[in-house]
Structure 1
């Protein structure tokens, strides 16, 4: 079974407590469990990681990319300014899908720009947990094409 990395960045540990209009009602553990279940139904195994620290996310990508077939990443606020995270995604040489629970294109101006998007195959946002389900489907198709 192929493994994908599910990476969550800044403040996503507060899911379930943050603004439910933008982020939904699920907490991070519930979201990860739903993603794992959906991925398993597609023949994928999920290895999940969360950190509020940019360097920890980069270290995780560098240390785990050799044993994975793809990445789903919701970098939180790092999405908007972490060129180092962008480079780590590129250097992993894995297909990556950027996801967001909220629609970042229809939020504050500073949230509309993603500096990691160009290191990803696709950006999926604005559909709460369904954004993740779509990311699994897209990533599975990419992985299968590479096989």
Structure 2
């Protein structure tokens, strides 16, 4: 049986982790976060391919790729969460189990962050647990695949 794989996507400004607003997003770098995801996937018997882009179209293309090349997606779309119908439609079209994650609790922040275009097409959403939210998302995908 082929090993399952998860595509971990990070959207705009997440390349600035560890530098941008550490009081909200922490001091961990994106490289550190990627390693946490690789390790969590390995613990679940999966592999992880971690990618980041500040460009909406590139994220859309990667989500399309997931339809045939990945068993699940964990996505932190950053600000695109609250603005992108294109990402919502891509997730819907990919027909690949998707978990939405956010490092901070978006519901405790500015009101414009309370709405997500992705949540209605995601299996679930995890927010407010920092990097551990990604681990929870990967674990959730692995459990769903086993059921």
Unpaired segments of 5 or more residues in structure 2?
none
In structure 2, the residue matched to 1:82 is 84
Deviations 1:89-126 (A, max 9, x none): 01111110000000001100111111111110110000
Aligned residues: 145
- The TM-score normalised by the length of structure 2 is 0.96
1:139 aligns with 2:120: no
Matches within 5 A, 1:55-74: 55-74=57-76
Shift of 1:38: 1.2
Gaps of 5+ in 1: none
- How far 1:20 moved relative to its partner? 1.5
**Greater than 2 Å deviation, 4+ residue runs:** none
- For 2:96, what is the secondary structure of its paired residue? coil
Q: CA RMSD in A?
A: 0.8
Partners of 2:5 and 2:19 lie apart in 1 by 29
The CA deviation at 1:144 is 1.6
Q: Is the 8 A contact 1:4 1:45 kept in 2?
A: yes
Structure 1 segment 34-45 matched on structure 2, within 5 A: 34-45=36-47
Report the 3-state secondary structure (helix = DSSP H, G, I; strand = E; otherwise coil) of the residue aligned with 1:46.
Answer: strand
